[in-house]
Structure 1
Amino acid sequence: MIVALTTSVVSCNKSKDYKDNSRATGWRLDGKDGSLKYQTDYKGQETGPGLVFVEGGTFTMGRVQDDVMHDWNNSPTQQHVQSFYMDETEVTNRMYLQYLDWLKLTFPPTEKKYTNIYKGALPDTLVWRNRLGYNETMTNNYLRHPAYQNYPVVGVNWIQATEFSKWRTDRVNELNLEEKGYIGENARYAADANTTFNTETYINAPTKVYGGNDSLSKGRNSERLVELIGKDKKDSTHSFIQRKDGVLLPAYRLPTEAEWEYAALGLSGIREYNQYRGRKKYPWDGQYTRQGGRRKRGDQLANFKQGNGDYGGIAGWSDDGADITAEIKSYPPNDFGLYDMAGNVAEWVADVYRPIIDDEFNDFNYYRGNVFTKNAISKDGTVKLVTSDSIVFDTLSNGSIVARSLPGEIVQEAVTEKDTYLRTQFTDSDNRDFRDGDKASSRYYGQSTTNERMYNSPQHQVNAIIDSTGTSKGLDRQYDTNSDRTTLIDNEVRVFKGGSWRDRAYWLDPAQRRYFPQDMATDYIGFRNAMSRVGSKSQKGKRARD
């Protein structure tokens, strides 16, 4: 009995410690006594602020119920999307104002070298103006007045939406690290233009984050840090959180077109075993835009233009409650819990626009717009960081000036032929026009006029005017006046999805797609963020059917 009991105890202890030991070597993995440290009790990805989980799956992308234009850019194609997270609502004015105020505090626009950082992020409030309409109330108030704080932000171009997403990633991870005791308390308030936090910098060069300010980056030597570092403070191997610890969230970003359309459809509500029961015309069930239930019968299910001169209906019972945009969560969510996936504002997605989806080449996480880069490395083998004196600005086609990157970020450079040598899945850094628009796939390929482009869109020129002293005197804007242009499609136009308060019900179909120049903005396009899911496809795993 004693032998059996001893064997049982030893077996239980082995079973208990199994997850903390390596299956390859038997070594300890808890980081104590100089051992390697790994996350052995990872519970799964946390849901970031503002996000809801969308379980991925297979669906038919581009299948529209109505196609009065008989256009070929909605050709149905079966696609598979991995699980991801998406903003419950569109990004609001208040959310975007946090971004603007942070930029103003961190990079004071009164300092000449920072002026264009703040100005380049400002939404274009003049998008509300109309030559035959009085819209000055929205021009002056829509972005900043508290009456509109929970309304979707508009006047933001695709580039600004992308930069907001990068900022949001860093602020969420920064707070996450602070709350868990990995960086200094209130470090986010102590940072300035030269000591900002960047997620990728923290992962790749943690001693350089916060401008190398050790008191901010290593935190308060809290109990949690003692647990990571161990009792021997001389061993700093585990002083900083790494990607393998599972603490840092993946990046906030714009959703791909496939992700957005899949999330908007919310097909989980009509799933029966391994098939879908019928088809959906809108993010909600049914073929109509009004509620069919008894209590709310006749209420509109989205904010859209119902007809000429009819943006909200007759005041009173039949009114949809909005004439321009509506406050978030004014209408019921779809089956994924997402609000306003039809109507209110149309939304930017990540993809470069092309008339067709090339499903013959890829039907998994489809996305056109990849521009692969790598971290720039200094001669001493460390990563190069952007400083307050090395900020690079881009001048857009409309003359706006935006910062390509902010101080504290890692300098990015294009991948080269050396990086792609003998690779089979990609050979170039810029893949925006792959198989459709590049020289090799152009209809002029192999002919003598190889400089011809497949899409002869206008090419406006914006150049800085520099005097003899090297001082900028403004911009020289030259519009393309060529009358032979036949299209607006190029690598700088992006897809936007969903109908808006300005659109008829035709555009509420999630499969409908349109495009707009990435450096221009309107009063009817906003955006929401997405985040990739790492790990399991499902949050809860398969369950037995009731």
Structure 2
Amino acid sequence: MMNFSKYLRFAVVGACALAACKGGPPTAQKPGKYSSTTGIEYNTEEGMKVADYQGIPDGPGLVFIEGGRTVLGSAEEDVAMTHDNLERTVTLASFYMDEAEVANIHWLEYLHFVRKDSAEEFYLSALPDTTVWARELSFNDPYVDYYLRYPGFRYFPVVGVSWLQANDYCTWRTAKVNERLAGEGDSGGSSGGGGLFKRRKKDDAGAAAEGTSEDGGKGKIAIENGNTLPNYRLPTEAEWEYAAQSLIGTQETGNENQENKRIYPWDGRQVRNSYGKKMGQFLANFKRGRGDYAGIAGSLNDGAMITEYVYAYPPNDYGLYNMAGNVNEWVQDIYRPLSFEDVEDLNPFRRNGFLDPSEKYDKKGYQSLIDDHVRVYKGGSWRDVAYWLSPGTRRFMAEDSATATIGFRCAMINAGSNK
């Protein structure tokens, strides 16, 4: 028979403890010594373990993006006549995003650890396709050999990376960062995140839950401990477009209406800086016109024949660099032309094959390029004209394909908050 008096005593103790607390009701950071519903003391032989939690740890390279309501969709004339991104109002939860594109040095670090921790077969599959620079009627041969590995290109965006490879990188980065965070919280040393990635790859790179322990909960990498980060991942198309708009810079304090909209990730209808000492200089790396990638010697416009330093050009109002130009960027979403009609208006995201099935598109008959393995990319590149710099424009490519004009950056949920 249940010892009712024992649990009543715990309840009284817990209630008294809660009533005596001068700091107000319990919070995630200060849950109290006793349960506010059962009165049972935490972190005892009988009670539940409640780890110390001071908020989500800082993720290397990430910038906080405050969410909210916005209007997604193309603000420019639909030159391509695709009608695939009509304007609609949505709300996005806050999230984190890399302040800059993943660079060559970051990919070389990835290859370094993959070679140590994984099979040679997977290492070879992680190599970028450097032949994306090769052109039959252009002398781009030096980029094939030097762009990825030459020290001068260290902080240029990695290219030649497919959507699938970018996802594998996100999985590895999550494991490696959480290995370090878990090691910092454990004086006994590292918890073996390199091997963690190896085990994930053996089963399924995307199958491991966010932050879950790989050793049955005995290790330090566990969601409940709060000492690790959620998954690094590719941003959703909505997140990417919202972050590129950076309309927080146009918002007046206390005004709940969004009265301004941007064609580009900066103010105005032009692609040149309108203010200060850098007036007249281009705000992004793009192709000005046929055959004009950089301007004339002595007065270069965007200053970059191909890609450029990932911290070049002014950041937008969220502190994000090159959300227009330099390289296009992969996002999570599968491509469908009518996504704006189908997706939810809260945290919209187009999943694989859900609604609008690929069978409706005649790819076998060469009447369409759409199936369940094409992904959206955004942002414009060094080889694109200014039209594609607008956040609302969108294109797609096969998830296993790569070019010299597409890179990526990572994102992460804002765990433990509804803001």
TM-score normalised by the chain length of structure 2: 0.86
Kept in 2, the 8 Å contact 1:55–1:537? The answer is: no
Question: 177-186 or 344-353, which moves further after superposition?
Answer: 177-186
Which of 212, 216, 221 aligns to 1:203? It is 212
Deviations 1:277-327 (A, max 9, x none): 321010011111101113111111000000111101122344322110001
Distance in 2, matches of 1:16 and 1:241, equals: 33
Tell me which amino acid in the other structure corresponds to 1:70: M
Q: For residue 57 of structure 2, what is the aligned residue in structure 1?
A: 46
Residue 72 of structure 1 deviates from its aligned partner by 1.0
- After superposition, residues 387-398 of structure 1 pair within 5 angstroms as none
1:60, 1:78 within 8 Å by CA — same for their partners in 2? Answer: yes
Whether contact under 8 Å (1:156, 1:525) holds in the other structure is yes
1:12–1:534 Cα change, 3 Å: closer
The answer on 1:300 being equivalent to 2:181 is no
Matched residue type, 1:122? L
Which residue type is aligned with residue 65 of structure 2? V
SS of 1:72 mapped into structure 2: coil
**SS at 1:27 equivalent:** coil
Structure 1 gap segments, 5+ residues each: 1-9, 108-113, 209-216, 219-239, 370-431, 439-452, 459-483, 539-546
Residue by residue over 1:206-253, the C-alpha shift from the partner in whole angstroms, topping out at 9 and shown as x without a partner, is 259xxxxxxxx76xxxxxxxxxxxxxxxxxxxxx45322211211000
Q: What code does the residue aligned with 1:138 have?
A: Y
1:63-462 to structure 2, matched below 5 A, reads 63-107=74-118, 114-181=119-186, 184-185=189-190, 187=192, 200=209, 203-207=212-216, 240=220, 242-272=222-252, 273-359=255-341, 362-369=344-351, 432-437=352-357, 453-458=359-364
- Residue in 2 that maps onto 1:15: 21
Identity of aligned residues (%): 42
Distance 2:197 2:87 in 1: 50
Alignment partners' CA distance in 2, 1:91 and 1:201:
21
Q: Against the structure 1 CA distance between its residues 528 and 454, is the aligned structure 2 distance closer, same or farther, given a 3 Å change threshold?
A: same
Distance in structure 1 (CA, Å) of the matches to 2:214 and 2:62: 29
Aligned residues of 1:93 and 1:150 also touching (Cα < 8 A) = yes
Letter of the 1:93 partner, please give it. Answer: N
User: Which piece of structure 1 moves more, 527-536 or 178-187?
Assistant: 178-187
Partner of 1:408: none
SS in structure 2 of the partner of residue 20 of structure 1: coil
CA contact (8 A) 1:182 1:241 kept: no
Equivalent in the alignment of 2:7: none
SS at match of 2:91: strand
Match of 2:384 in 1: 503
Distance in 2 between residues matched to 1:257 and 1:433, nearest whole Å: 16
Q: What SS class does the counterpart of residue 151 from structure 1 fall into?
A: coil
Q: Which segment is superposed worse, 332-341 or 12-21?
A: 12-21
Alpha-carbon distance in 2 for matches of 1:193, 1:352: 27
Given that residues 56 and 537 in structure 1 are in contact (C-alpha distance below 8 angstroms), is that contact kept between their aligned partners in structure 2?
Answer: no
The code of the aligned residue for 2:234 comes to L
In structure 2, give the amino acid aligned to 1:262.
Answer: Y
Checking the alignment, whether the CA contact within 8 Å between 2:331 and 2:375 is kept in structure 1 is yes
**Superposition RMSD on alpha carbons, in Å?**
2.7
Unaligned ranges ≥5, structure 2: 1-15, 27-31
SS at match of 1:167: helix
Tell me the matched-pair count: 391
Q: Is contact 2:59–2:229 with CA below 8 Å preserved after alignment?
A: yes
* TM-score normalised by the chain length of structure 1: 0.67
Which amino acid is 2:50 matched to? Y
1:385 alignment partner in structure 2:
none
- Give the aligned partner of residue 8 of structure 2: none
Query: Aligned partners of 1:194 and 1:169: how far apart in 2?
Result: 14
The AA in structure 2 aligned to 1:248 is: T
Cα distance in 2, alignment partners of residues 178 and 525 from structure 1: 34
Q: Which amino acid aligns with 2:280?
A: G
Residue type of the partner of 2:49?
K
Indicate how the Cα distance of structure 1 residues 533 and 312 shifts in structure 2: closer, same or farther if over 3 A, else same.
same
CA contact (8 A) 1:61 1:261 kept: yes
**Alpha-carbon separation, structure 2, partners of 1:247 and 1:84:** 18
Do 2:211 and 2:223's aligned partners in 1 also have CA atoms closer than 8 Å?
A: no
- How many Å apart are 1:205 and its aligned residue? 4.6
> 1:21 and 1:51 mapped to 2: Cα distance?
35
Deviation at 1:360, TM superposition (A): 5.1
Once residues 14 and 518 of structure 1 are traced to their aligned partners in structure 2, the CA distance between those partners, rounded to angstroms, is 58
SS of residue matched to 1:282:
coil
Give, as a single letter, the amino acid of the residue that structure 2 aligns with 1:257. Answer: E
Call closer, same or farther: CA 1:143–1:203 in 2, change over 3 Å: same
Q: Which has the higher mean CA deviation after the structures are superposed, 129-138 or 73-82? A: 73-82
**SS of corresponding position for 1:52:** strand
1:28 aligns with 2:14: no
Q: Following the alignment from structure 2 to structure 1, what is the Cα–Cα distance between the partners of residues 322 and 387? A: 15
Equivalent AA in structure 2 for residue 511 of structure 1: G
Q: Displacement, 1:522? A: 0.2
Asked if residue 530 in structure 1 is aligned to residue 389 in structure 2, the reply is no
- Which residue of 1 is the match for residue 12 of structure 2? none
Larger radius of gyration: 1
**Deviation string, structure 1 residues 409-440 (Cα, Å, up to 9, x no partner):** xxxxxxxxxxxxxxxxxxxxxxx2222126xx
